[in-house]
A and B are shown apart, each in its own frame.
Chain A
């Protein structure tokens, strides 16, 4: 879900960059010293997730992990995502430097949503927590896809058609992403519960 360079108009690029700067500043302000290693590791995980492509059918899929980042990091997910996207643009020409802001917003806004909406669920016990984790993973991908649709409307593509295509294309990945988020959540709860400390705090 990286928008290529040269697709969007300057006002959209500027708006995206502005939002990304604001979000990053807020994220950095809210981040305390102890959480930096966690942010660094999840930032790397986000960076790698979209590089590893698993062939499924005639195509290939990869993880996004923005829901998980939002769940675990809250506002600090924004600088984490920005850094990862910056390096993807620099090393692999995924997206690009001028669209960096827009792409950050596309990935980070869903992360914030999963922070505010799904974290309360994940705090509870039992199935509710698992449902919360699944929702965080799946809905973050969905919202990201919708945001791509919104960004593309400004290029003159009809929103419904663009959004339909983007959402349809992401249904399989939403399911996978939801399951993987549950997986990682359960795994962390068993093996490294201190990583989840932020959630319960």
Chain B
């Protein structure tokens, strides 16, 4: 197992360098730069050039990339062009709310997708199965910005049950439990959006993968030998049926950190996803590069974790490696 992890780790590092260079190049080759979003008549073009020089964004892309990498090697993501804040400090502020939102919805997604998916696979054509199919259709076909705005309209504006947006009620001076409860209350709608869309895609895979496993010969053999249905499902079918799902879950790891761009934007949630959107529009490359790099690291780590889990679930994979 260890050589396998080491080899994959090395592959991942090479991949990371390639990914970071490509995304750096693509961002910098796109026409326009951060300074051009600041242009106003009271600033002369000479001053813009001077500021570009001061920021180092007038240099050729390979040079800019090298200086970015050398800063990164010292643990420095650079400074936001937009507000001059250190990117690391900015990420620290934004990571908490994103983790809170995405971890909560991840737990719900896993519970719902596994629970409903396995039940629908075991009891096809039951009412739960039909309802889950509808849920999948809804979750995949409704765009999250529309779903989010509909929830805000219905549950906040019309019914007044939940706050429309934000991380807490800013005009109240909450402390302790009251603050915690207030934040949980603000989480309900965005968590609903993330959970519905997330559950839908994973539920689909769980259901098809488990029912595929239930049709296998070994299941038929076990059944003919008189093994009970519960035992067949949990001891035999799930073990094989859930392997692809583990990959899916592993690959959804980056979303924990990078956040959900659309949901966070709609609910004015102070997380990483919204930070990414803002920085892309402002051409604030140090910030977007930092988020992209972290996401790339997480994708690589996520797929490694998935592979390791594969090995634990299915010994054949371990042998092959």
Q: Is the pairing of A and B real?
A: no
